[in-house]
Amino acid sequence: MHYRTLGRTGIKVSPYALGAMMFGTIGNDDHDDSIAIIHKALDAGVNFIDTADMYSHGESEEIVGKALAGRRDDVVLATKLNLPMGDDPNRQGNSRRWIIAEVENSLRRLQTDYIDLYQIHRPDPSTDIEETLSALSDLVHAGKVRAIGSSAMPASEIVEAQWVSERRGLERFRSEQPTYSILNRGIESEVLPVAQRYGMGTLVYSPLAGGMLTGRVRKGQQTDLRRAAFFTYLSDERRLDVVEQLVPLAAEAGLSLTHLAMAFAIAHPGVTSAIMGPRTMQQLDDVLAGAEVVLGDDVLAEIDAIVPPGTDVSPLDMAYKTPAVLTPSLRRRPLDERAAA
């Protein structure tokens, strides 16, 4: 396994990161099996694990904590906060109140006294970014966190956060975690260039497009993916059409669709690591088998012809949408102000 530097932190991480979202009740609820998957990834040279407090409501962090017993110092450990951890409206978001409280919960579940990369899972429009950065800076100064990062943050907000950090003398976001795959290339336009400009590492999630780039989701065929019953993107005709174009391209290159997709994700110079999220040992083995795959310029050019750079075929269901997009009143003038004359 080769290693890359996480932005300008000096921390070395593997190009494949192990995502722990599927460990726990929402995925693999067998703790021993999940721990075995983690150990196998570490033995293969993967040194970067990404989880979050809300994955199976803390259970994922607990599993990761148990798996890292005796191996903690050899692993770059990342977790996140923001999404609801209960009915209390203050047990979510990016407020100082919640950050200071929840980091202690994550440290306890992970059975560690420090987190290498602590990330805000989503932007929080209700909280001043200075408030968030100030609280996170205090955690760095206290030695509980080594570096801080963002996730699903629009390019404009990344820039704003960097400016606030500089002006207020606060720790700055050292990484960004956006979605990125052959089907979702939108971050190539602004997010990746902005992250590179500020020396941020980029940890891309869903490089297999939520399962669509595994070959298990084909047009006109039944899929065995359990999530197909819950997510509409898996039946999106535009995405299915692109998959049908990618299957022969992968075959011509002598690759599985999974290996083509993973190799594509880590080929961009702005991408530090691609997060794989296996639920089973077989899925982990499948991804790791393609670790040495290199896509030539000819194959990348063919992918560009199918999905133009900087474009999304269609958004993932779980992709972050800003209030300006989600809230009708923010994109519609009052009726009496809509006429031109």
For the chain, report the end-to-end CA distance as a whole number of angstroms.
Answer: 65
Structure tokens at 86: 């209960």
Which CA distances in Å does 291 have to 41, 48, 250, 284? Answer: 12, 15, 15, 11
> Is residue 35 within 8 Å of 66, Cβ to Cβ?
yes
Q: Which residues are catalytic?
A: 55
Alpha-carbon dihedral 155, 160, 163, 169, rounded to 10 degrees: -120
Which CA distances in Å does 147 have to 36, 82, 107? Answer: 28, 17, 15
DSSP letters spanning 50-85: E--TTGGGGHHHHHHHHHTTTTGGGSEEEEEE-S-S
Structure tokens at 166: 């500089």
What is the dihedral sign for C-alpha 276, 282, 287, 292? positive
